[in-house]
Structure 1
Amino acid sequence: MTAPHVPSELRTPRLLLRAPRPEDAAALHGAVRASLPELQKWMVWAQEPDDLHATAENLRSAAARYAAREELRLLVWNAAGTELLGSSGFHALDWRVPKGEIGYWISSAHTGLGYAQEVAGTLTEFGLKTLGLRRIEIRCDSANERSARIPRNLEYSLDATFRNDAVAANDPARLRDTLIFSMVR
Protein backbone atom coordinates (compact mmCIF):
# COMPACT_ATOMS: atom_id res chain seq x y z
CA MET A 1 0.00 0.00 0.00
CA THR A 2 1.24 3.48 -0.77
CA ALA A 3 0.88 6.22 1.80
CA PRO A 4 -2.48 7.99 1.48
CA HIS A 5 -2.99 11.74 1.39
CA VAL A 6 -2.70 13.04 4.93
CA PRO A 7 -4.04 16.43 5.99
CA SER A 8 -1.65 18.77 7.78
CA GLU A 9 -4.04 19.19 10.70
CA LEU A 10 -6.76 17.42 12.63
CA ARG A 11 -9.18 18.97 15.11
CA THR A 12 -11.05 17.81 18.17
CA PRO A 13 -13.43 20.05 20.13
CA ARG A 14 -10.54 21.06 22.44
CA LEU A 15 -7.42 20.56 20.34
CA LEU A 16 -5.62 21.30 17.11
CA LEU A 17 -3.19 18.58 15.99
CA ARG A 18 -0.89 20.10 13.38
CA ALA A 19 2.11 18.98 11.37
CA PRO A 20 5.32 20.54 12.71
CA ARG A 21 6.81 23.73 11.31
CA PRO A 22 10.25 25.18 12.06
CA GLU A 23 8.59 28.36 13.36
CA ASP A 24 7.08 26.25 16.18
CA ALA A 25 10.56 25.88 17.69
CA ALA A 26 10.20 28.46 20.48
CA ALA A 27 6.87 27.03 21.63
CA LEU A 28 8.14 23.44 21.54
CA HIS A 29 11.44 24.31 23.20
CA GLY A 30 9.60 26.12 25.99
CA ALA A 31 7.13 23.26 26.57
CA VAL A 32 9.92 20.69 26.70
CA ARG A 33 12.03 22.79 29.09
CA ALA A 34 9.07 23.37 31.39
CA SER A 35 8.30 19.63 31.41
CA LEU A 36 11.80 18.17 31.75
CA PRO A 37 11.40 16.69 35.25
CA GLU A 38 8.45 14.60 34.06
CA LEU A 39 9.72 13.88 30.53
CA GLN A 40 13.14 12.71 31.71
CA LYS A 41 11.55 9.84 33.65
CA TRP A 42 10.26 8.27 30.44
CA MET A 43 11.84 9.78 27.31
CA VAL A 44 15.40 9.06 26.21
CA TRP A 45 15.43 12.18 24.00
CA ALA A 46 14.68 14.36 27.06
CA GLN A 47 17.93 13.41 28.81
CA GLU A 48 19.84 15.90 26.67
CA PRO A 49 17.19 18.22 25.25
CA ASP A 50 17.86 20.26 22.15
CA ASP A 51 18.68 23.95 22.29
CA LEU A 52 16.43 26.33 20.35
CA HIS A 53 18.43 26.05 17.10
CA ALA A 54 18.47 22.23 17.25
CA THR A 55 14.73 22.24 18.03
CA ALA A 56 14.11 24.23 14.84
CA GLU A 57 16.26 21.77 12.86
CA ASN A 58 14.38 18.85 14.44
CA LEU A 59 11.08 20.41 13.38
CA ARG A 60 12.39 21.04 9.85
CA SER A 61 13.33 17.37 9.60
CA ALA A 62 9.99 16.27 11.10
CA ALA A 63 8.13 18.43 8.56
CA ALA A 64 10.06 16.78 5.71
CA ARG A 65 9.32 13.29 7.09
CA TYR A 66 5.65 14.27 7.40
CA ALA A 67 5.54 15.47 3.78
CA ALA A 68 7.15 12.17 2.69
CA ARG A 69 4.70 10.21 4.92
CA GLU A 70 7.63 8.52 6.65
CA GLU A 71 6.54 9.73 10.08
CA LEU A 72 3.42 11.69 10.98
CA ARG A 73 4.46 13.76 13.97
CA LEU A 74 1.83 16.22 15.13
CA LEU A 75 2.15 19.06 17.59
CA VAL A 76 -0.74 19.34 20.02
CA TRP A 77 -2.14 22.87 20.41
CA ASN A 78 -5.15 24.33 22.17
CA ALA A 79 -8.15 24.70 19.83
CA ALA A 80 -7.20 28.28 18.93
CA GLY A 81 -3.65 27.18 18.00
CA THR A 82 -2.12 29.68 20.40
CA GLU A 83 -0.60 27.41 23.06
CA LEU A 84 1.46 24.27 22.52
CA LEU A 85 0.29 21.47 24.81
CA GLY A 86 2.50 18.58 23.66
CA SER A 87 3.40 16.31 20.80
CA SER A 88 2.06 13.09 19.34
CA GLY A 89 1.74 11.32 16.03
CA PHE A 90 2.44 8.11 14.19
CA HIS A 91 5.95 6.66 14.35
CA ALA A 92 7.41 3.42 13.00
CA LEU A 93 5.09 3.56 10.00
CA ASP A 94 5.15 0.59 7.66
CA TRP A 95 2.80 1.21 4.74
CA ARG A 96 3.31 -2.37 3.46
CA VAL A 97 1.31 -3.83 6.38
CA PRO A 98 0.02 -0.98 6.96
CA LYS A 99 0.76 -0.16 10.60
CA GLY A 100 2.13 2.53 12.87
CA GLU A 101 2.84 3.37 16.49
CA ILE A 102 1.28 6.27 18.37
CA GLY A 103 3.52 8.17 20.74
CA TYR A 104 2.50 11.12 22.91
CA TRP A 105 3.53 13.52 25.62
CA ILE A 106 1.71 16.46 27.14
CA SER A 107 3.48 19.35 28.82
CA SER A 108 3.43 19.17 32.60
CA ALA A 109 1.24 22.27 32.92
CA HIS A 110 -1.52 20.47 31.00
CA THR A 111 -1.38 16.89 32.28
CA GLY A 112 -4.33 15.31 34.03
CA LEU A 113 -6.88 16.99 31.74
CA GLY A 114 -7.41 14.06 29.37
CA TYR A 115 -5.51 15.58 26.45
CA ALA A 116 -3.25 12.57 25.83
CA GLN A 117 -6.22 10.21 25.76
CA GLU A 118 -8.14 12.59 23.48
CA VAL A 119 -5.17 12.75 21.11
CA ALA A 120 -4.58 8.99 21.14
CA GLY A 121 -8.28 8.30 20.59
CA THR A 122 -8.46 10.75 17.70
CA LEU A 123 -5.32 9.32 16.10
CA THR A 124 -6.58 5.77 16.56
CA GLU A 125 -9.82 6.55 14.73
CA PHE A 126 -7.99 8.56 12.05
CA GLY A 127 -5.41 5.80 11.59
CA LEU A 128 -7.95 3.02 11.21
CA LYS A 129 -10.58 4.85 9.16
CA THR A 130 -8.68 7.40 7.11
CA LEU A 131 -5.15 6.04 6.82
CA GLY A 132 -6.33 2.45 6.50
CA LEU A 133 -3.91 1.16 9.11
CA ARG A 134 -4.48 -2.47 10.04
CA ARG A 135 -2.45 -2.30 13.26
CA ILE A 136 -1.73 0.56 15.65
CA GLU A 137 0.59 0.12 18.60
CA ILE A 138 1.16 2.12 21.75
CA ARG A 139 4.31 1.21 23.66
CA CYS A 140 5.39 2.43 27.07
CA ASP A 141 7.57 1.68 30.05
CA SER A 142 5.66 -0.70 32.32
CA ALA A 143 6.29 1.65 35.26
CA ASN A 144 4.58 4.54 33.46
CA GLU A 145 1.09 3.88 34.81
CA ARG A 146 -0.42 7.12 33.46
CA SER A 147 0.74 6.36 29.94
CA ALA A 148 -0.40 2.73 30.11
CA ARG A 149 -3.87 3.81 31.28
CA ILE A 150 -4.52 5.49 27.91
CA PRO A 151 -4.48 2.42 25.62
CA ARG A 152 -6.38 0.46 28.26
CA ASN A 153 -9.09 3.15 28.37
CA LEU A 154 -9.23 3.14 24.56
CA GLU A 155 -9.74 -0.65 24.60
CA TYR A 156 -6.41 -1.56 23.05
CA SER A 157 -5.26 -5.13 23.71
CA LEU A 158 -2.12 -5.74 25.74
CA ASP A 159 -0.18 -7.93 23.30
CA ALA A 160 3.00 -8.37 25.29
CA THR A 161 5.25 -7.31 28.09
CA PHE A 162 8.82 -7.36 26.89
CA ARG A 163 10.87 -8.05 30.02
CA ASN A 164 14.23 -6.30 30.33
CA ASP A 165 13.57 -4.77 26.91
CA ALA A 166 15.48 -1.50 27.25
CA VAL A 167 17.39 0.61 29.68
CA ALA A 168 15.41 3.11 31.72
CA ALA A 169 15.32 6.52 30.07
CA ASN A 170 16.80 8.27 33.10
CA ASP A 171 19.04 5.48 34.41
CA PRO A 172 21.04 3.41 31.88
CA ALA A 173 22.10 1.08 34.72
CA ARG A 174 18.47 -0.04 35.24
CA LEU A 175 16.53 -2.25 32.83
CA ARG A 176 12.89 -1.63 32.08
CA ASP A 177 9.99 -3.65 30.75
CA THR A 178 8.02 -2.43 27.74
CA LEU A 179 4.24 -2.85 27.43
CA ILE A 180 2.97 -3.27 23.86
CA PHE A 181 -0.67 -2.50 23.25
CA SER A 182 -2.39 -2.82 19.88
CA MET A 183 -5.60 -2.02 18.06
CA VAL A 184 -6.17 -4.06 14.90
CA ARG A 185 -8.83 -4.22 12.25
Structure 2
Amino acid sequence: MTLAIPDLPAVLETDRLIIRSPQPGDGPDLFDAVVDALADLRQFPASLPWAMEMPSVDESESFCVAGSESFQARKDFPFLFIDKTSRIVVGAGGLHRPRWTVPAFELGFWGRSSFVGRGLFSEAADALVNFAFASFDAKRVEAICDDLNVRSIRVCERIGMQLEGVLRQERRAPDGSLRNTRIYSKCE
Protein backbone atom coordinates (compact mmCIF):
# COMPACT_ATOMS: atom_id res chain seq x y z
CA MET A 1 0.00 0.00 0.00
CA THR A 2 1.44 3.36 -0.99
CA LEU A 3 0.51 6.21 1.29
CA ALA A 4 0.39 9.74 -0.04
CA ILE A 5 1.53 12.05 2.73
CA PRO A 6 0.04 15.49 2.25
CA ASP A 7 1.86 18.78 2.27
CA LEU A 8 1.92 19.90 5.87
CA PRO A 9 1.44 23.38 7.25
CA ALA A 10 4.66 25.02 8.35
CA VAL A 11 3.06 26.37 11.51
CA LEU A 12 0.12 25.44 13.73
CA GLU A 13 -1.41 28.17 15.86
CA THR A 14 -3.59 28.05 18.91
CA ASP A 15 -4.91 30.95 20.95
CA ARG A 16 -1.61 31.33 22.79
CA LEU A 17 0.95 29.22 20.97
CA ILE A 18 2.87 28.93 17.75
CA ILE A 19 3.62 25.26 17.19
CA ARG A 20 6.20 24.44 14.54
CA SER A 21 8.90 21.96 13.67
CA PRO A 22 12.36 22.77 15.03
CA GLN A 23 14.69 24.52 12.61
CA PRO A 24 18.43 25.00 12.43
CA GLY A 25 19.25 27.88 14.78
CA ASP A 26 16.61 26.94 17.39
CA GLY A 27 19.14 25.10 19.58
CA PRO A 28 19.85 27.90 22.09
CA ASP A 29 16.13 28.55 22.67
CA LEU A 30 15.41 24.85 23.08
CA PHE A 31 18.38 24.51 25.44
CA ASP A 32 16.95 27.26 27.68
CA ALA A 33 13.57 25.47 27.78
CA VAL A 34 15.17 22.12 28.66
CA VAL A 35 17.25 23.65 31.44
CA ASP A 36 14.11 25.22 32.91
CA ALA A 37 12.25 21.87 32.79
CA LEU A 38 14.98 19.43 33.85
CA ALA A 39 14.21 19.26 37.58
CA ASP A 40 10.58 18.31 36.87
CA LEU A 41 11.42 15.95 34.01
CA ARG A 42 13.98 14.08 36.10
CA GLN A 43 11.21 12.86 38.40
CA PHE A 44 10.34 10.34 35.67
CA PRO A 45 13.65 8.76 34.68
CA ALA A 46 12.12 5.54 33.37
CA SER A 47 9.99 7.31 30.78
CA LEU A 48 12.23 10.33 30.09
CA PRO A 49 15.79 8.96 30.04
CA TRP A 50 17.00 11.78 27.78
CA ALA A 51 16.38 14.26 30.63
CA MET A 52 18.85 12.61 33.01
CA GLU A 53 21.82 14.37 31.45
CA MET A 54 22.28 18.11 31.07
CA PRO A 55 22.42 18.80 27.33
CA SER A 56 24.76 21.32 25.78
CA VAL A 57 23.65 24.10 23.45
CA ASP A 58 25.37 22.17 20.64
CA GLU A 59 23.38 19.01 21.46
CA SER A 60 20.17 21.03 21.49
CA GLU A 61 21.09 22.48 18.11
CA SER A 62 21.83 19.00 16.76
CA PHE A 63 18.40 17.87 17.96
CA CYS A 64 16.79 20.79 16.12
CA VAL A 65 18.65 20.07 12.88
CA ALA A 66 17.83 16.34 13.06
CA GLY A 67 14.22 17.13 13.99
CA SER A 68 13.84 19.41 10.99
CA GLU A 69 15.25 16.72 8.70
CA SER A 70 12.98 14.02 10.19
CA PHE A 71 9.94 16.26 9.79
CA GLN A 72 10.77 17.03 6.16
CA ALA A 73 11.37 13.32 5.48
CA ARG A 74 8.03 12.49 7.21
CA LYS A 75 9.78 10.04 9.57
CA ASP A 76 8.96 11.81 12.84
CA PHE A 77 7.09 15.00 13.68
CA PRO A 78 8.77 16.98 16.47
CA PHE A 79 7.42 20.42 17.36
CA LEU A 80 8.46 23.40 19.46
CA PHE A 81 5.82 25.23 21.49
CA ILE A 82 6.40 28.98 21.31
CA ASP A 83 4.48 31.51 23.39
CA LYS A 84 2.87 34.02 21.00
CA THR A 85 3.35 36.97 23.33
CA SER A 86 6.92 36.52 24.56
CA ARG A 87 8.19 34.35 21.65
CA ILE A 88 9.84 32.08 24.24
CA VAL A 89 10.10 28.36 23.53
CA VAL A 90 7.94 27.06 26.38
CA GLY A 91 8.23 23.37 25.55
CA ALA A 92 8.28 20.73 22.89
CA GLY A 93 6.53 17.61 21.82
CA GLY A 94 5.50 15.76 18.77
CA LEU A 95 3.82 12.96 16.95
CA HIS A 96 6.29 10.11 17.09
CA ARG A 97 6.67 6.55 15.83
CA PRO A 98 4.20 6.85 12.94
CA ARG A 99 2.51 3.61 12.00
CA TRP A 100 1.29 4.50 8.53
CA THR A 101 -0.72 1.32 8.00
CA VAL A 102 -3.25 2.44 10.66
CA PRO A 103 -2.29 5.49 10.67
CA ALA A 104 -1.37 5.98 14.34
CA PHE A 105 1.09 8.12 16.30
CA GLU A 106 2.53 8.45 19.78
CA LEU A 107 1.95 11.88 21.32
CA GLY A 108 4.74 13.32 23.44
CA PHE A 109 5.00 16.67 25.22
CA TRP A 110 6.89 18.49 27.96
CA GLY A 111 7.23 22.08 29.08
CA ARG A 112 9.20 24.63 31.00
CA SER A 113 8.51 24.41 34.71
CA SER A 114 7.98 28.17 34.83
CA PHE A 115 5.04 27.83 32.38
CA VAL A 116 3.33 24.79 33.93
CA GLY A 117 -0.17 25.25 35.30
CA ARG A 118 -1.41 27.68 32.64
CA GLY A 119 -3.04 25.16 30.33
CA LEU A 120 -0.45 25.72 27.59
CA PHE A 121 0.55 22.08 27.35
CA SER A 122 -3.04 20.88 27.16
CA GLU A 123 -3.52 23.45 24.39
CA ALA A 124 -0.42 22.17 22.56
CA ALA A 125 -1.25 18.48 23.03
CA ASP A 126 -4.81 19.01 21.83
CA ALA A 127 -3.55 20.86 18.75
CA LEU A 128 -1.15 18.02 17.90
CA VAL A 129 -3.86 15.37 18.28
CA ASN A 130 -6.21 17.38 16.06
CA PHE A 131 -3.37 17.88 13.57
CA ALA A 132 -2.83 14.10 13.39
CA PHE A 133 -6.51 13.47 12.67
CA ALA A 134 -6.86 16.33 10.16
CA SER A 135 -3.54 16.09 8.28
CA PHE A 136 -2.85 12.36 8.35
CA ASP A 137 -6.35 10.93 8.69
CA ALA A 138 -5.02 9.26 11.85
CA LYS A 139 -7.24 6.66 13.43
CA ARG A 140 -5.34 6.55 16.73
CA VAL A 141 -3.09 8.81 18.80
CA GLU A 142 -1.66 7.38 21.99
CA ALA A 143 0.26 8.84 24.90
CA ILE A 144 2.49 6.80 27.17
CA CYS A 145 3.27 8.27 30.57
CA ASP A 146 4.65 7.29 33.94
CA ASP A 147 1.92 6.29 36.38
CA LEU A 148 3.19 8.97 38.81
CA ASN A 149 3.31 11.79 36.26
CA VAL A 150 0.12 13.52 37.42
CA ARG A 151 0.60 16.54 35.13
CA SER A 152 0.86 14.43 31.98
CA ILE A 153 -2.08 12.30 33.11
CA ARG A 154 -4.17 15.45 33.57
CA VAL A 155 -3.23 16.73 30.11
CA CYS A 156 -4.26 13.42 28.53
CA GLU A 157 -7.58 13.42 30.37
CA ARG A 158 -8.22 17.13 29.71
CA ILE A 159 -7.92 16.65 25.95
CA GLY A 160 -10.29 13.69 25.91
CA MET A 161 -7.88 10.77 25.78
CA GLN A 162 -9.08 7.56 27.39
CA LEU A 163 -7.04 5.42 29.76
CA GLU A 164 -6.59 2.06 28.08
CA GLY A 165 -4.62 0.45 30.85
CA VAL A 166 -1.70 0.44 33.20
CA LEU A 167 1.32 -1.69 32.40
CA ARG A 168 2.49 -2.73 35.85
CA GLN A 169 6.22 -2.82 36.58
CA GLU A 170 6.87 -2.13 32.92
CA ARG A 171 9.96 0.08 33.18
CA ARG A 172 12.99 0.13 35.39
CA ALA A 173 14.22 3.49 36.63
CA PRO A 174 17.96 4.19 36.89
CA ASP A 175 17.76 3.55 40.65
CA GLY A 176 16.50 0.02 39.95
CA SER A 177 12.91 0.62 41.02
CA LEU A 178 10.12 -0.66 38.82
CA ARG A 179 7.66 1.85 37.41
CA ASN A 180 4.16 1.53 36.01
CA THR A 181 3.22 3.02 32.65
CA ARG A 182 -0.18 4.38 31.63
CA ILE A 183 -1.44 4.13 28.06
CA TYR A 184 -3.94 6.75 26.91
CA SER A 185 -5.48 7.03 23.46
CA LYS A 186 -7.86 9.01 21.35
CA CYS A 187 -9.35 7.33 18.32
CA GLU A 188 -11.31 8.60 15.35
Same fold (TM over 0.5): yes
Alignment gaps of 5+ in structure 2: none
- What do the CA deviations read for 1:73-110 (whole angstroms, capped 9, x no partner)? 00000115721100011011111210001100010110
Q: Which amino acid aligns with 1:175?
A: L
RMSD: 1.3
Q: Which amino acid aligns with 2:145?
A: C
Corresponding residue of 2:32: 30
Q: Which amino acid aligns with 1:4?
A: P
Corresponding residue of 2:159: 154
1:48 to 40, 47, 53: 53
> What is the CA–CA distance in structure 2 between the aligned matches of 1:55 and 1:75, rounded to whole Å?
12
> What is the CA–CA distance in structure 1 between the aligned matches of 2:181 and 2:148, rounded to whole Å?
9
How many residues get paired? 183
Corresponding residue of 2:182: 179
Corresponding residue of 1:6: 8
Corresponding residue of 1:72: 77
- What do the CA deviations read for 1:2-56 (whole angstroms, capped 9, x no partner)? 3322222100010000110121111111111122111111221010132111111
Corresponding residue of 1:96: 101
Q: Which amino acid aligns with 2:102?
A: V
Alignment gaps of 5+ in structure 1: none
- What do the CA deviations read for 1:114-162 (whole angstroms, capped 9, x no partner)? 0110011111112112221010001100011111011112221111211
> What is the CA–CA distance in structure 2 between the aligned matches of 1:16 and 1:27, rounded to whole Å?
14
2:133 to 119, 128, 137: 128
1:105 equivalent to 2:110? Answer: yes
Secondary structure of the residue aligned to 1:173 is coil
What is the Cα deviation at residue 177 of structure 1?
A: 0.7
> What is the CA–CA distance in structure 1 between the aligned matches of 2:156 and 2:144, rounded to whole Å?
9
Q: State, as a whole percentage, how many aligned pairs show the same letter.
A: 29
> What is the CA–CA distance in structure 2 between the aligned matches of 1:54 and 1:154, rounded to whole Å?
32
Greater CA deviation, 40-49 or 67-76?
Answer: 40-49
> What is the CA–CA distance in structure 1 between the aligned matches of 2:100 and 2:31, rounded to whole Å?
31
> What is the CA–CA distance in structure 1 between the aligned matches of 2:15 and 2:160, rounded to whole Å?
22
Secondary structure of the residue aligned to 2:170 is strand
Secondary structure of the residue aligned to 2:142 is strand
> What is the CA–CA distance in structure 1 between the aligned matches of 2:8 and 2:85, rounded to whole Å?
21
> What is the CA–CA distance in structure 2 between the aligned matches of 1:140 and 1:115, rounded to whole Å?
18
